[in-house]
Amino acid sequence: MGKRLLTIVQMNDLHGYLEPHAEIIWSPGGPQFPTMGGLARIASVVAGLRGETSGALVFLDNGDTFHGTFPAVHSRGEALIPMLNALGIDAMTAHWDFAWGPGHLKALTSRLNYPMLAANCIDPSTSERPFSAQMIFERGGIRVAVIGLAATIIDKSMPPRFAGGLQFTSGLSELHSAIEQAKTDEADIIVVLSHQGFPQDCLLAESVAGIDIIVSGHTHNRLSHPARIGQTLIMQSGCHGSFIGKMTVSLDDGRIDLVKHQLIPIDDTIPEQADITELVERAMAPHRAMLSVIVGSTAKPLHRATSMDAPMDDFLLAAICDVAGTAIGFSNGWRYGAPIPPGPISQNDLWNIIPTNPAVSTVELTGLEIWEMVEDNLERTFSADPFGQMGGYVKRFRGLTVFGRIENPPGHRVVDIHAGQEVLDAKKRYRVAYVTEQGVPAKFGVDRANLEISAIDAMASYLRKGVLNDIAGTGRFVAV
């Protein structure tokens, strides 16, 4: 048939961002915060690409779609359905999309005009998959098999309601049979749509023969060039809809070659597609007045774009410790959350920091438990086995200085911990503040209590003290 071309377009880790927002871009002079993203702009880009390719295009969404902003969480994902259907997506997989349980996700995805794919999701009570494993799409005369892999951590490090009894594997064993099925279905190109993470997807490419392309998500990598592991190409395109990925490959007599890859910035040079703008406005209008309220200001940028610690979480922890009256605090190392440039802070910004708005909680931990919890988290962040990496960034903490060696083996990374100016006492009980069980897992501590104040109200209260600048008491990991 001669050489044929296929373009794959990727949107990963949208986290519910419907409208343009600040995004962090690193430069030699420090971070910049241009306004990026927005579904109406994404729609405009994708429409242009469909025209350029004469429809020889597959548009894939890696999940983390229905959760992460106020309108997404307030509606439990439903607010996004009309605009997602209008985008012309071909398939998705999932992670935070399970936040309200598998039943709710099944109901949500039943209203989409494209499938939710998860070959590695099993119901142990029936040994069946609650979601389809794969689909065949024919575009430009090319048969494309898309195999979905949901996040393997859903039943391992997320709150129990996410999995709801379902089991999520690494996908290693399921891929072999899925690839054989794709070959039986006469697929010309085999694509894995994965929410495992870039390190995990590199391991999948090394371990499983027959994958042509992995469309990777979860770890928010902005790959300006695709990775190549053996014969497999891997793309990943940031988060929050600030970028989309475009990969064009050629197929000639069974040989697949990379023609071009682009990490496309969704910036203010891109016009909005009017019908999507209207749908977004319908979703935002009931909340716009509340979300626009200015609750404070910051002299420094607040972001989550660094692995060991981040100023956005320094602010969150200072606020929860302030209302709890503790010197020590913990929160999860979430990756999502658009940055806040220096200047005013709105109610919308606070919801983007912690969209679940949990109660501020307290618990008593021994020094030994704090040490063990930090060790556990370092392994879940930096495990030499990619599938041992089950968190986001390093757990955020306040009131502690941790000295450690990342290169050491599991359980031996922490060298010393100080609480304030004192060496952490293994036997002493420390009352600490935290938010969510991802901040302090249930196996640690005694005397847990929820305060009668939410995380967002705590942050608003803290902002009333004055403009955010240097926050005393911030916790740090010091590599020694």
Q: Over the stretch 227-277, which tens digit does the pLDDT of each residue have?
A: 999 999 999 999 999 999 999 999 999 999 999 999 999 999 999 999 999
Q: What is the pLDDT of residue 392?
A: 92
Closest by CA to 318, choosing from 338, 296, 336, is 296
User: CA angle, corner 465, sides to 461 and 466, nearest 5?
Assistant: 120
Closest by CA to 31, choosing from 335, 337, 303, is 303
Per DSSP, which regions of 150-231 are E strands?
167-168, 189-194, 213-216, 227-229
Q: What is the pLDDT of residue 61?
A: 98
Q: What is the pLDDT of residue 255?
A: 94
- Kindly list the distances between the CA atom of residue 87 and the CA atoms of 61, 97, 147, 240, in Å, as whole numbers in the listed order: 11, 18, 21, 16
Q: What is the pLDDT of residue 391?
A: 84
DSSP 432: E
User: Helix 311-324 vs helix 455-463: angle between axes, to the nearest 10 degrees?
Assistant: 90
Q: What is the pLDDT of residue 110?
A: 98
CB 68 within 8 A of CB 264: no
- The C-alpha atoms of residue 310 and residue 475 are separated, in whole angstroms, by 10
Q: What is the pLDDT of residue 279?
A: 98
Q: Looking at the DSSP assignment, which residues form a beta bridge with residue 396?
A: 331
User: CA angle, corner 187, sides to 186 and 190, nearest 5?
Assistant: 150
Q: Which regions in the chain score pLDDT beneath 50?
A: none
Question: Alpha helices, DSSP H only, in 61-101?
Answer: 70-74, 81-87
pTM reported for the whole predicted model: 0.96
Q: What is the pLDDT of residue 470?
A: 84
Q: What is the pLDDT of residue 468?
A: 92
Instruction: Give the phi and the psi of residue 122 in degrees, each rounded to 5.
Output: -130, 140
- The C-alpha atoms of residue 72 and residue 350 are separated, in whole angstroms, by 14
CB 326 within 8 A of CB 362: yes
CB 309 within 8 A of CB 475: yes
